[in-house]
A and B are shown apart, each in its own frame.
Chain A
């Protein structure tokens, strides 16, 4: 069949198909890779003389494209007409079926894990029921150290068995069991002897991280946060401030702030008029901590960081009260 006849036949066929709606059959009749009418012409091309091939080739190609486009357009028009004909109201939305979802804190933990795992960190875990040794002593917090005031402890058996007050206890455990190089993050629950209110809860979530290797410095720690905070807040223009801050388990310590995202640094109720929001505590792992965990602090250095997760989750999801977050009063 000549190409002109083929085109004429297709125009008849598509008229018929517009009534039946069987566009798949029409497509196969002309374009099936095994027996389509156009395909057969294409298969015949190599057998033609060079000049015929030169004339026939582009025409065949044009006809193929024409048929493809015509079927696609006709199919869309048909679907639209069908909706109009039957009077289906697609805008009458019903209540969504009950769908599953992950807790906001899990979502944020996953987001953070994804960042750190990209940079070669593993996720670490440790017990919530902890000994004073791992929770305090190995982190350079001897008995009676004033910094234990920062962490009102819930004791199971005072003074040696307690609920971990921070995820740093996992750092002490893993530093004692792993060999450098080490890159670990630890998302987890910890506990404080506090009364619940909108912003504090006796149980809280922290996100801890630590790196130990040869030649690790404060400059690398700054680099990690520079990357991480831009990722976390999905904002490349975020302003980050690094300042000295004391934490007993590190020396030198470092506080990390971001310019207040609510007032742009002018000072508001959210940032307590400071213009900056404190987001992380960090520093170089204390000489004594490395030593107590069996790592030679003259050979290896390391950094550690920790942040509260709950306020971050609350800010991200617009949850005003921590008791809603963990009391079954959130639904996304």
Chain B
């Protein structure tokens, strides 16, 4: 929200420097977004406070914070003349589900012309160009009070009627800026005699705009369903000062105040005669009352404030004290504070105007609650440490990928991604790590181990409910080395995987289908020549989340024996090792030391050298006996 300093001073006679004023704004909730440029403050607006999209609203809080008087703008409260049938503009609302109020007045014989300098300067300082005195007044009141308004030239009307209805399917409007906008039925329009004159709450049309020749106008201030305005303005991509305010919840009472203010300015600056016209407001909204126990200030802020300070703050912010019984205040919430829903919101007001800087700092006490960290979180952190020990580089890659990258079924596609490169969720982490490896190559790093622990995503059925969308926790490892053949890289991968198993104390894995690794019939990983995918939840299950607290000399305390076996090319060495390891409880682990394929071995076969470690206390004789059935040792 932009606040021209001179404009602000109309309502608060503040004598502080712009820097000090900026600090005050920041302290109570309107953070200075950009530095003061000599004329205007640029304050961050946080969507809740519709009144903070008005200079008066910002000034009210500043005055309260600085304990200064708030000076309200002049308004014209006297009733206008009763319009004759000739001047009267009928209001016909065909979509009452969107319209809460449509408040109008008629002005005759106004003198449209240039705005006075002060008005022009104020609008220009705010960032709105001056057009003519009538249009400028509607803009001025919108910025001043936060209520968008609209004036139409009734001499351009074909019929003295404003009909508010949903837009037609193919309906179009040419805005006052000359842009043609195609509408759709969620939008609503103001029309007269079948001609669309205004896109409701968003932008005026050219047809009935006020210009230098205009003499007679109808002025409206509407109150609409903010959700509809939000949807329509975003869909049509028309975001302007009007839609910015109308997409917040404004109270219908604001329309009357804005009309009275605009009436005052029109009569001052453009003259003419002022007539009443229809105020379409079928269900008047009552102001909200909230009960606030003053002890709640202590519950949330931890401090006790004097009752007179509390009441002073509330009065300055526009709350009306209905009753004060046994430290329970009943407060009527001012119409411009549509953000206040519960008593805690009023406590917020009290504390921020009191000043957050004045709230003391107090240690958080109480016994710490019981540990709730999921075992898998701690376990995955341990896996990271293991992989780092095995020289892995951890990476985090984007879970958003292009839907074309994964032709297999079950990929989750996003409905509204801005980017076709990132319109789906990954079904594997490997592709992200491949991309990282390509960056390593580009940077002359030609070998390494990459890993990532994260989620992969898939859906189990089309059009299913929430439960059909699945997240699976994975440890993905990728080995790469430009100088190595896939076979040699495979040796690096299996050594890495073996290191992981060893660190986890999983010395007796089982293998299936050439690349699936099981422990206790649970699939813990699938292997590729250049990496593997570990399923961390399953790994946690089979390890119980604990790493063996083993020390090196314990590992070396048992003896080891090497066994050389000739097996077929297709036989899984891992499965043989597992079988050996499982054959005696005196064996601690068994793994491949070397593989040989070549002239010295029959075609279609290979030799594998398996090293077997025995538990402490097993003698050479016993060990040889155990291994005898496996062949030469």
- Verify A284–B417 contact, CB threshold 8 A: no
Q: What 0/1 pattern do residues 149 to 162 of A give for CB contact below 8 A with B?
A: 11001111110110
Is B457's beta carbon under 8 Å from chain A? yes
| Bound Cα distance from A144 to B247, whole angstroms | 9
Asked if A327 is an interface residue, CB under 8 A from chain B, the answer is: yes
Asked whether B344 lies within 8 Å of A251 as measured between CB atoms, the reply is yes
Nearest residue, chain A, Cβ from B369: A181
A71–B570 alpha-carbon span in the complex (Å) = 62
Contact B399 A301, beta carbon cutoff 8 Å:
no
B108 contacts across to A, CB distance below 8 A = none
Q: Using a Cβ–Cβ cut-off of 8 Å, how many residues does chain A contribute to the interface with B?
A: 94
User: Which of the 9-residue segments B120-128, B440-448, B518-526, B530-538 touches chain A?
Assistant: B440-448
Q: Please, which residues of chain B bring their CB within 8 A of the CB of A321?
A: none
Pick the contact of A131: B46, B367, B466 (CB < 8 A).
B466
- Chain B nearest CB from A92 CB (Å) reads 22
B447 x A101 contact (CB < 8 A): no
| B247, A158: Cβ atoms closer than 8 Å | no
Once the chains are docked, how many angstroms separate the CA of A287 from the CA of B417?
Answer: 34
Most buried by A among B26, B49, B298, B433: B26
B551 CB–A CB distance under 8 Å? no
A100 within 8 A of B: yes
CB <8 Å contact, A202 and B400: yes
Known contacts A129-B412, A217-B362, A220-B362: does B393 contact A202 (CB below 8 Å)?
Answer: no
A304 is an interface residue with CB less than 8 A from chain B: no
Name B470's closest neighbour in chain A (CB-CB): A129
* A69–B396 CA distance with the chains assembled, in angstroms: 53
- Contact present for A202 and B377 (CB under 8 Å): no
What residue in chain B is nearest A179 (Cβ atoms)? B369
Q: Pick the contact of B351: A119, A123, A252, A287 (CB < 8 A).
A: A252
CB neighbours of A202 from chain B (8 A): 398, 400, 417-419, 422
User: Is A312 on the interface with B (CB-CB < 8 A)?
Assistant: no
| A128 touching B418, Cβ below 8 Å | no
Whether the pair A103, B35 counts as a contact (CB closer than 8 A) is no
Which partner residue on chain A sits nearest B48 by CB separation? Answer: A246
- Residue interface bits A74-118, CB-to-B below 8 A is 1, else 0: 000000000000000000000001111111011000100000000
Q: Does B391 contact A (CB under 8 A)?
A: yes
**Is there a chain B Cβ closer than 8 Å to A16's Cβ?**
no
Report how far A113 CA is from B46 CA in the complex, Å.
Answer: 30
Q: Is the CB of A102 within 8 A of B394?
A: yes
CA distance A247 to B367 in the complex (A): 29
Chain A residues, Cβ within 8 Å of B32: 274
Complex-state Cα separation, A222 to B303, whole angstroms? 13
User: Is B254 an interface position by the 8 A CB rule?
Assistant: no
Using known A-B contacts A218-B351, A243-B31, A273-B35, determine if residue A224 contacts B372 with beta carbons closer than 8 Å. no
Asked if B46 and A98 make an inter-chain contact with CB atoms under 8 angstroms apart, the answer reads no
Contact A128 B31 (CB under 8 A): no
* Chain A residues, CB < 8 A from B439: 327-329
Partner of B363, one of A146, A215, A220, A255: A220
Which chain A residues numbered 177 to 203 have a C-beta less than 8 Å away from chain B?
178, 180-184, 189, 191, 193-196, 201-203
Write out the residue numbers on chain B whose beta carbons fall within 8 Å of the beta carbon of A216: 364
B454 to chain A, nearest CB (A): 8
Query: Restricting to B244-265, which residues have a CB under 8 Å from any CB of A?
Result: 247-248
Q: Find residues 378-429 in chain B having any chain A CB closer than 8 Å to their own CB.
A: 381, 384, 387-400, 412-419, 422, 425
Say whether A331 contacts B344, CB under 8 Å.
no
* Surface stretch bound by A, among B353-361, B502-510, B606-614: B353-361
- CB of B301 within 8 A of CB of A100, answer no
Cβ contacts under 8 Å, A278 to chain B = 31
Q: How far is the CA of A106 from the CA of B393 in the complex (A)?
A: 12
Question: How many A-B residue pairs lie within 8 Å, measured between CB atoms?
Answer: 254
Residues of A within 8 A of B396 (CB): 103, 105-106, 325-326
Q: Is A267 an interface residue (CB 8 A)?
A: yes
- Asked if A106 meets B364 with Cβ closer than 8 Å, knowing A217-B302, A286-B344, the reply is no
Asked whether, in the complex, the Cβ of A122 is within 8 Å of the Cβ of B373, the reply is yes
- B622–chain A nearest beta-carbon distance, Å: 35
Give the docked Cα–Cα distance between A26 and B249 (Å). Answer: 90
Is A120 positioned at the interface, with any CB of B under 8 Å from its CB?
yes
- In the complex, what's the smallest C-beta–C-beta distance from A132 to chain B, in angstroms? 10
Judge whether B377 and A123 touch: CB under 8 Å: yes
Q: Are B395 and A284 in contact (CB under 8 A)?
A: no
B436 CB within 8 Å of chain A = yes
**Cβ of A143: which chain B residues have Cβ within 8 Å of it?**
227
In the complex, what's the smallest C-beta–C-beta distance from A311 to chain B, in angstroms?
Answer: 15
Does B455 count as interface, using CB distance less than 8 angstroms?
Answer: yes
| Interface: B374 (CB within 8 A) | yes
B369 contacts which of A120, A129, A224, A272 (Cβ < 8 Å)? Answer: A120
Asked whether A181 lies within 8 Å of B366 as measured between CB atoms, the reply is yes
Asked if B319 is at the interface (CB within 8 A of a chain A CB), the reply is: no
Known contacts A155-B415, A244-B352, A253-B348: A203-B400 contact under CB 8 Å = yes
A252 to B347, CA, bound (A): 7
Let me know if B617 is at the binding interface, CB within 8 A.
Answer: no
Interface presence of B571 (CB below 8 A)? no
Cβ of A292 under 8 Å from chain B: no
A203 to B47 alpha-carbon distance, docked (Å): 23
Contact present for A101 and B388 (CB under 8 Å): yes
Q: Do the beta carbons of B415 and A244 come within 8 Å of each other?
A: no
Contact B373 A328 (CB under 8 A): no
Q: Is B558 an interface residue (CB 8 A)?
A: no
Q: How far apart are the CA atoms of A224 and B400 in the complex, in Å?
A: 34
Q: Are A201 and B348 interface neighbours, CB within 8 A?
A: no
CA distance A110 to B393 in the complex (A): 16
A217 to B, closest residue via Cβ: B302
On whether the beta carbons of A195 and B418 are closer than 8 Å, the reply is: yes
Report if B471 contacts A (CB, 8 A): yes
Query: What are 17 A-B pairs with beta-carbon distances under 8 A?
Result: A102-B384, A119-B364, A156-B413, A202-B422, A216-B364, A219-B302, A222-B361, A223-B364, A244-B348, A244-B356, A247-B46, A251-B342, A252-B352, A284-B344, A287-B343, A288-B341, A326-B396
Which residues of B are interface residues toward A (Cβ below 8 A)? 26-29, 31-35, 46-49, 226-227, 230-231, 247-248, 298-303, 341-345, 347-348, 351-352, 356-357, 359-364, 366-369, 371-374, 376-377, 381, 384, 387-400, 412-419, 422, 425, 433, 435-437, 439-440, 443, 445, 447-450, 455, 457, 466, 469, 471
